[in-house]
Amino acid sequence: MSDIRPGQERFVAPLEETPLRAIDAVDVDAVPESQWKEAWKRLRASPLFWLASVIILVLAVMVAFPTLFTSADPNAAKLGNQFAPASEGHPFGYNFQGADIWARTVYGARASVAVGLLATLATVAIGVVSGAVAGFFGGLTDTLISRLSDVFFSIPLLLACIVVISVINNIFPSRGFWGSVLVVVLALAVFAWPQITRQMRGAVLEVKNLEFVDAATAIGASKMANLRRHIVPNALSPVIVSATIMLGVFIVSESALSFLGLGLPQNIVSWGNDLSDAQTLVRSGQHLVVMWVPATALAITVLGFVLLGEAVREALDPKARK
């Protein structure tokens, strides 16, 4: 080692400048943070989330306390007020029937939100259970569930709902508010679950091969306990994102069905029904405000849920962010 060249002499850094730390020391002062808490922190930092929250909050208040927004009765119609212009307390005027447009839009939120929420809950319930079972047990169970979901997946959602609802309408022609909502919810849920099932199945397949699942088995946890305690919670995040966006889609679907006269019956105040009533006016091009108000309410609501879904996706999977 005699031929040491310039710049390669022996060098030892002074210890004061490079103090040693204990090997693998634990940072004792750190604040514990679960994955959910971390996701929430990222969510709070997202402007999208706040915009979506404001929209959804306003919508929620509208559903719970419609009288805060309007003092008019959505069902009170005076033909004398037909297409009357805006006046004090009636910001958008009156429709064809002489009912307050704004009041109908405010009260119409109830039906839309009820259908959206319930249909999402039902879809997620069916999807999570069937997807988890299919992914976890595999084999014949998986084949049966997956092929069944393929069959339902191949039928266009709205077309299927139109057929199912018209059949039910023929058998039970008159139902109350909740009866009508329930029929729409069931029709949507029965044809929308395969999307969640597929996502859940994929996530479960991925999680079930991780070592912590083996570790739990070696501890003595039963198959079901393992599925419930470790696999499903770790497979949920893609489903949460989808469900949020799906809620918006269901609200649109309800309006579309009502627009076609198949969703909620005419006597129930809903955005779809109001839009359906307004369609004759579109042709004449007059009094378009009758259409604009519920249509804008619908668009803003759906936007709220889509934005929320996007914000949640970014928070749950920070790597996906650009």
- Site residues for other proteins per CB under 8 A: 1, 4-13, 15, 17-18, 20-21, 23-24, 26, 28, 30, 32-36, 38, 210-212, 214-221, 225, 230, 233-234
Long-range contacts of 228-231 (CB under 8 A, 24+ apart): 231/132, 231/136, 231/204, 231/207
Helix (H, G, I), strand (E, B) or coil at 90: strand
CB count within 10 Å of CB 138 equals 14
The nearer residue to other proteins, 5 or 147, going by C-beta atoms, is 5
CB of 18 to other proteins, least distance (A): 5
**Start-to-end CA span in the chain (Å):** 52
The nearer residue to other proteins, 140 or 218, going by C-beta atoms, is 218
CB count within 10 Å of CB 76 equals 12
| Beta bridge pairs of residue 87 | 90
Residue in the block written with tokens 């059949």: 167
CB of 27 to other proteins, least distance (A): 8
CB of 15 to other proteins, least distance (A): 7
The nearer residue to other proteins, 139 or 173, going by C-beta atoms, is 139
CA–CA distance, 262 with 258 (Å, rounded to integer)? 5
CA–CA distance, 290 with 299 (Å, rounded to integer)? 15
Long-range contacts of 226-234 (CB under 8 A, 24+ apart): 227/132, 227/136, 231/132, 231/136, 231/204, 231/207, 232/128, 232/132, 232/204, 234/203, 234/207, 234/210
Contact by Cβ (8 Å): 264, 184: yes
CB of 241 to other proteins, least distance (A): 17
The nearer residue to other proteins, 207 or 262, going by C-beta atoms, is 207
CB of 204 to other proteins, least distance (A): 14
Residue in the block written with tokens 């003595």: 220
| Beta bridge pairs of residue 94 | 100
The nearer residue to other proteins, 30 or 151, going by C-beta atoms, is 30
The nearer residue to other proteins, 22 or 171, going by C-beta atoms, is 22
CB of 211 to other proteins, least distance (A): 4
CB of 202 to other proteins, least distance (A): 18
The nearer residue to other proteins, 3 or 88, going by C-beta atoms, is 3
